[in-house]
Structure formats: C-alpha cells, structure tokens
Amino acid sequence: MSLERVGRLATLCCIALLIVSAKTVSAQDNFPAVAQAASAAREAGRTDEALSDYAQAVSLRPDWAEGWWYLGTMQYDRDHYADAIAPLKRLVQLSPNLGSAWAFLGLSEFETRDYTGALAHLRQAQAIGAIDDLELARVSAYHLALLLNQAGEFDQATPLLLSISGAKEPPPQIKTGLGIALLRIPLLPDQIDPSQDALIQAAGSAAAMSADIARYIEILEALIREHPQTPYLHYHYGLALKAAGRTDEALAEQQQEAAISPESALPRIQIATLEIVLRRFPDALRSAQDAVALAPNSFAAHSVLANALEVNGKTQQSAAESRKAVGLAPEKPMIDRRIASMYAIAAGREPASDKASEANPAGWQQAMAAYTSGHYAEAITALKSWVEQKPNDGTAWAVMGLAEFELRDYDNALIHLERGQQLGVGASPQAIALAKYRLAILLIRKGRFETATDLLGPLAGQQPLAAEVQFALGLALLRIPSLPGEIGADRRVLIDQSGEIAQLLLASRYDQAFPRLQKLIQQYPATPFLHYAYGTALDSLSQYDDAKAQMREEIRISPQSSLPWARLASIALRQRLPAEALQPAQKAVQLDPNSADAHYVLGRAYADTGDTAKAIPELEAGSRLSPGSPEIHFALARAYAKSNQPEKANEERATFARLNALAEQQRAQHGNQAYQGAHDAANPSILGAGTGATGAAPPQ
C-alpha cells in the first residue's frame, strides 16, 4: 500500500471519528430535553408517550437509573408485568442496593409465574430493606411468604406474614398464607382447591394467635375436634403444648401426628426430643433413628439422634452424628409431597395460565342448571372448574357460596360470598340481594356485626327479603353471633323488634326509634347491648350526658365487654374532657387488648392530656390493628408532630389523606350524607375502616 493511500485512509478515519463524536455529543446534549419531555408526559398521565420518551432517554444515557425506574414501574402499574422485567433488571444492576427495585422485579416475575426468579429477587428486597413505600413493603413481603410456602420454607413464611398482619384477625389473604404454612402445604393459594378454603383460613386464624400460647392452644383444640385427621394439626398442637410445659400431652399429640403422617420426620424429631426430656432414653433413640431414616439429609434429625446416642451412653457414635449434622446445616425444607396432592386443584393440575383458553360456556350453564334444580354439590363441582379458568368472576364465587350455604358448609360459604362481593356480582337485583343477605348473616354468625350492618342497611324494607333483613339487623344490633334459624321462639320477638329499631336508626327516624328503644329496655331490662345501642344513638345526636348514662347501664349488664368503656372514653373526648376519658379507655384496653377502638381512644386521651410519649405506642397499636382507619392516622400525625418526628408525621398525614379520600368516595357511592349519623347509631364502631395503596419514590 502506498504512503499516499495510507494518508488518504487515515484522513477518512479521522473524519469518520469526528462525525461519530459529533453525533455522540449531539445525543448527549439532547438528553435533558428528552428526559424533561418524559417527565412531563408522565405527570400529565400520557403513559404511552412517557414510556417512549423514557426509552429514548435511557438509550441516550444507559446509566440513568431514574429512567429505568419509570420504564419498569409504569409498566408494572398498568399490569404489563412481562414488559416491566427487562428495565427493572437493568435498574438493579445500576442500583443494587435499591430495595424497591428488587421488590418490583420480584413482583413482576411472580405475576408472570417465574416463581424461581421471584423468590430470589423478593428475598433480595427483603434482605436489603429500605423500601420507603410501606404498602410496597407489605405486598412484597406477602408474596415472598407465599413463595416460601411453595418452597416448603414454612417456618420462614409464618413470622414474615405475622410481621405484616398486625391485627388479631388478619385479612383473608394473610390468613390464607398463615394457614398454608401451618398445614405445610407446598402450594400457592391459586393452586389449592376452593373447598379447602375454610380449613386453611381457620388454620390461619389459629396461627395468628400463636404469640398468645393459651389462646393458641384453645383454638388448636377446637380445630382438631373438627378436623381430627388433618395432617400437621396435631404437630402444631404438640409444639404449643411443649411451649406451655405440658410435655406428656405434647408427646401424645406428636405420636398421633406420626400415625397421621407416617412419612414425615418432623413428629419423630419432636417425639425423640420429648422422650429425652422425659428420660425415656431407649425410646428416644428408636424415635431418632426413625427420623433419620425418613430424612437422611436433615440437620435436625441427625442432631436429635446425636443427643439420643449421648444420653444412652454411646459417646463416640454421638460425636459422629454431631459431625454429620454440622455438615448438613443449615436445615433444608422438609416437603411432604402427599400434602400437595391432598389440597391441589383437580388432583394436582396447575391453575390456568394467563394464556389459557376461555372457560367453556357450557360449564357455566351446567353449574346454573345444577344450582337452580337444587343439586348443589354438582353445582359446586362445575363452579370449581369455572373459577379455575376465571378466578376473578365474582358471580361464580357468589353462586358457589350460595350453594355451600344450602349444604350448610357455612365457613366456605362465607369466604366465597365475600370474595364474590369484593369482585362484583352481575345478576338480577333479587339475586344480588339474596347473596348480600346470606353473606350478612354469615358475618353475624362470625361476630362481624358492623360489616353485616353495612350490607343489610341498603336492603332494609325491600321485598321479598324485608322481614329476613329486619330480623338480621336485630341480631346485629344485639350482637348475637347466630344464624336466624338457630334462634329459639322465646327470643324472636325481641330480635325482630330490635331489627325494626335498627332500621329506624338507619333512616334517622329518631323520634320513632327512641320511644321504641325505651319501651324495649323496660320489657327486657337485662338484655345485653340494648343500652349500648341506645347510648350510641344518643351519642350520634350529641346528647352526651344521656349517652354516658346508657353506657354505664350497659357496663352493669355486660361487665366483660370493652365496647361501653371505649364509647364512654370517646364521648368524653368529644366533650373535650380527656382526663375523664383516661380511666374508661384504659379499662377498654384491659378488657380487649386487640381492640383498635380501645387503643385509639386511649391514645387520644393521652395525647389530649399532653402525654405524647404514652399516646404514640397506643395509637401505633391501634394502627396495626386497623391499618385502614383514617382517624387513627390523623391522630398519629398530630402525635408525631408534637414529639418532633416530622418525617413520620408527614407520612401519617399522607396516609390519612389517601384513606380519607377513599372513605369520602365510598360514602358518596352509598348516597345521602345526612344518613351517616344514623349509620353510626346502628353500626357503632368508633373507627372507620378502609384500604388503599401508596406510590413508590424513584431512585435518585
């Protein structure tokens, strides 16, 4: 090659490099404008335009974490989970310590059924922490717990679920997760046969009380009476008895579990441990050897065998087993495969994927034909197949609940009717009214009187269920946790008249309600909660002294109820007498430590008497028990502000604003605001309730 040609080539290369460099500089110069356009489009709600601009911006500057954040989270927010994954993966490469990014990535993978990736990335989010958005933290922890259950890591799932529950009666989703863990079911909730829902939620309610060992034991005893052959109930009952120091009884329960679950090493490990405590050393050795035979790779099994060998004088063998145990640490999940087949949909079939074909219309027709002809078991079978394909069909869940009600499977009926109500029921007004009525009386049976009244109020006076609704309102007003058919003839007149009064209160017709209440109290002076209902109605009309007199009468009749004490405190607070509110509020908390109302009024009383240090723990306890209450977040915001905690105060103000807006929206949907006072009189919870979600902040 000639020198001249080399020179020309070098010149051309220089020109090319200058052109590329110029383009790069031009692109970099253009980045601020593109980023600004993306932000403006996002804030204006022009999602598609914003996504396009963010994509262009990160192509210009691939290390721009904020752009990748919005590309991922905006796709997530509009349920395009598969499209969210790639930008979120890029984001965690750029910002590996951003817990929120790992959480959104794991949640997106969960929704696309990449459970392996979701488990790994939600674990990472949990390990990093630092998720500013409390709702995102709760949602990611909940989904991580579900995946831990699926992986057989039940002992890790349970404390995680309890940490995000707060309430003595957790929400249904949390109860389901807790129940799956207690029963050691290695499945996700949507992989489980709906006929198992009641058992699983009952187990979840038990698990929620595990910190109160005496109450936990009582609940497990009741559960075992109802389900004596259900695997792992005796196991957990035995663990609870062991914790309570009832060693002989604990051993008997673990032996029963070993008979029910012959392929599980878990009860054998406990049996060997308990036999060592009881100094039954030869028996302990046999039990430990059985445990190792069933789980040869278990750290716990080899550890208990080492202990059993030691107490039997076999020191060298014990040392060898200890070395084996150390080599097997940490403990690996023990999954009982037969449990999955017991609980899974249709003998282990996976739930329908997002790409599954539409449910067969003939299946729906078959279900409806079976239901209308009174063949309820056949209807339930057909509906199970239907909801497997269409899990968000509220009408199908409601019909399933109605069929279960007819078969007296009341616990499953409650769960499925409530699910239908949440998802929305599309049917005739009469059918919707029947579903709401049945749901309401099942709520009454469970003691959820306020929620039942919310459902029954709009149905009052409407045929053909007017008489039934009135009677149910009477049950709710008198707080009788029974179905209408379980009430004896001697009580029906009282309950029916109470229901009539409840309807008058709901309609703000106090001039008619009060004389009837007074007459009913004269006729039935020792009936619990009549004075409470009257006092609550008087309170709603600001007749405070008369209301307090009724609450004192209720305390005389119902000395173990926290309700009149909490109401007395609430009235005193409205009268601006916080010192007077302290004693009844303290008594309410003493009688029912799991009452959000009680903690709220005690926190308010402390705050209004200037004792912010005592107010905050009470208000925080109330917030954990009733996280959807706007009032409690407002009170917390004030308390934090007074204690010079501005960040927490701002967070609580934002939560209050969101929940209050949601409550206003719900009240508007229910009609005339003037009826709210009457609603309070017939449905006397001090705190409101609601739910909502918060947004998450991008990385900086």
Burial of 381 (0-12, 13-18, 19+ CB in 10 A): middle
Residue 353 in this model has a pLDDT that exceeds 90: no
pLDDT at position 601 is 96
Q: What is the mean pLDDT of residues 447-463?
A: 93
DSSP collapsed to 3 states, 262-302: CCCCHHHHHHHHHHHHCCCHHHHHHHHHHHHHHCCCCHHHH
Question: Under 8 Å CB-to-CB from 54, ≥6 apart: which residues?
Answer: 38, 42, 67, 70, 71, 74
Least confident residue range of 53-67, 230-244, 680-694: 680-694
Q: In whole angstroms, give the CA distance from residue 419 to residue 259.
A: 36
Contacts of 274 (CB under 8 A, 6+ apart): 242, 247, 250, 251, 254
Say if residue 482 is exposed, middle or buried (CB neighbours under 10 Å; 0-12, 13-18, 19+): middle
More confident site: 335 or 17: 335
Using the 3D structure, point to which of 36, 51, 66 is the last residue of a domain: 51
Q: Which of 15-24, 247-256, 400-409 has the lowest mean pLDDT?
A: 15-24
Give the model confidence (pLDDT) of 403-427 as tens digits.
999 999 999 999 999 999 999 998 8
Q: Which residue has the higher pLDDT, 19 or 335?
A: 335
Please write the tens of the pLDDT for every residue from 572-615: 999 999 999 999 999 999 999 989 999 999 999 999 999 999 99
Find the mean pLDDT for residues 344-364: 58
Q: What integer pLDDT is reported at residue 457 of this predicted model?
A: 94
Mean residue pLDDT of the chain comes to: 88
Domain count within the chain: 2
Q: How far is Cα 481 from Cα 442, in angstroms, rounded to an integer?
A: 9
For 477, counting Cβ atoms within 10 Å of its Cβ (0-12 exposed, 13-18 middle, 19+ buried), the class is buried
pLDDT above 70 (res 696): no
Assess if residue 96 is contained within a domain.
Answer: no
Domain that holds residue 11: 3-51
By the 10 Å C-beta count (0-12 exposed, 13-18 middle, 19+ buried), 657 is classed as: middle
For residue 691, pLDDT over 80 is answered with no
User: Is there a domain that residue 614 lies in?
Assistant: yes
pLDDT, position 688: 52
Q: Do 320 and 314 meet the contact criterion of CB atoms below 8 Å apart?
A: no
Mean pLDDT in residue range 651-677: 64
Quote the Cα angle for 489-495-500, to 5°: 135
- Residue 323's pLDDT is what? 95
264 inside domain: no
468-512: pLDDT as tens digits: 999 999 999 999 999 999 999 999 999 999 999 999 999 999 999
Spatial CA neighbour of 385 closest among 347, 423, 420: 347
- What is the per-residue pLDDT for 297? 94
Q: Which helix (H) or strand (E) holds 310?
A: helix 299-311
**pLDDT of amino acid 164:** 87
Task: Quote the CA–CA distance of 286 and 292 in Å, as a whole number.
Answer: 10
- List, as one string, the DSSP characters of 495-545: HHHHHHHHHHHHTT-HHHHHHHHHHHHHHSTT-TTHHHHHHHHHHHTT-HH
> pTM for this one?
0.77
Residue 630 lies in a domain: yes
User: Sorting pLDDT into bands at 50, 70 and 90, what band is 79?
Assistant: very high
CA distance 545 to 83: 62
Query: What band does 345 get if pLDDT is binned at 50, 70 and 90?
Result: confident
Which of 428, 425, 431, 479 minimizes the C-alpha distance to 452? 479
The residues, ordered by sequence, that sit 6+ positions from 122 with a Cβ below 8 Å of its Cβ are 102, 103, 106, 107, 110, 140, 143, 144, 147
Strand partners, 192: 344
DSSP label of 187: S
CB 434 within 8 A of CB 420: no
**pLDDT of res. 7:** 45
Rounded distance, CA 640 to CA 613, Å?
Answer: 10
C-alpha of 289 from chain center: 41
* Least confident piece of the model among 104-118, 129-143, 211-225, 670-684: 670-684
Q: CB-based burial of residue 77 (10 Å sphere; 0-12 exposed, 13-18 middle, 19+ buried)?
A: middle
Phi and psi (nearest 5°) for 344?
Answer: -70, 155
In a domain, 289, yes or no: no
What is the Cα–Cα distance from 696 to 700, expressed in whole angstroms? 12
Query: 600: domain CATH number?
Result: 1.25.40.10
| pLDDT of 700 over the 50 cut | no
Average pLDDT estimate for 359-388: 89
Q: What is the mean pLDDT of residues 294-298?
A: 95
Please tell me what DSSP assigns to residue 351: P
List the single range of 46-60, 193-207, 522-536, 644-658 with lowest mean pLDDT. 644-658
Measured at the CA of 403, the angle between CA 402 and CA 407, to 5 degrees, comes to: 115
Q: What is the pLDDT averaged over residues 80-100?
A: 95
- Taking alpha carbons only, the member of 241, 318, 298 closest to residue 274 is 241
- How far CA 219 is from CA of 63, 204, 209, 482, 660, in Å, comes to 55, 11, 8, 19, 36
Percent of the chain's residues with pLDDT above 70: 88
Assign residue 427 a region (left: φ > 0; alpha: ψ between -120 and 50; beta: otherwise).
Answer: beta
Residues 6 or more apart from 647 whose CB is under 8 A from it? none
Q: Is residue 137 part of a domain?
A: no
| pLDDT score, position 666 | 61
CA distance 169 to 180: 16
* Residue 204 in this model has a pLDDT that exceeds 50: yes
Question: What confidence tens digit (pLDDT) does each residue in 250-271 have?
Answer: 999 999 999 999 999 999 999 9
pLDDT of residue 20: 38
699 pLDDT above the threshold of 60: no
Residue whose pair of structure tokens reads 């302290």 in the numeric block: 582
Per-residue pLDDT at 172 = 87
Does the N-terminal peptide bond of residue 330 adopt cis geometry, omega within 30 degrees of 0?
yes
**pLDDT of residue 357 exceeding 70:** no
How many residues are present in the chain?
700
Assign 3-class secondary structure to 7-63.
Answer: HHHHHHHHHHHHHHHHHHHHHHHHHHHHHHHHHHHHHCCCHHHHHHHHHHHHHHCCC
Please give the Cα distance from 272 to 291 (Å, whole number): 9
**What is the distance between the alpha carbons of residues 658 and 678, in angstroms, rounded to a whole number?**
25
pLDDT tier at 355, thresholds 50, 70, 90: very low
Cβ-in-10-Å burial (0-12, 13-18, 19+) of 244 comes to: middle
Higher pLDDT, 88 or 679: 88
The answer, yes or no, to whether residue 348 has pLDDT greater than 80, is no
Q: Is the predicted pLDDT of residue 685 greater than 80, yes or no?
A: no
**pLDDT tens digit sequence for 527-543:** 999 999 999 999 999 99
Question: Two tokens at 688?
Answer: 């409101």
Residue 689 has pLDDT above 80, yes or no: no
Instruction: Give a yes or no: residue 573 inside a domain.
Output: yes
Domain contains 223: no
Kindly state the tokens that stand for 312. 């039997």
Q: How much is the pLDDT for 363?
A: 83
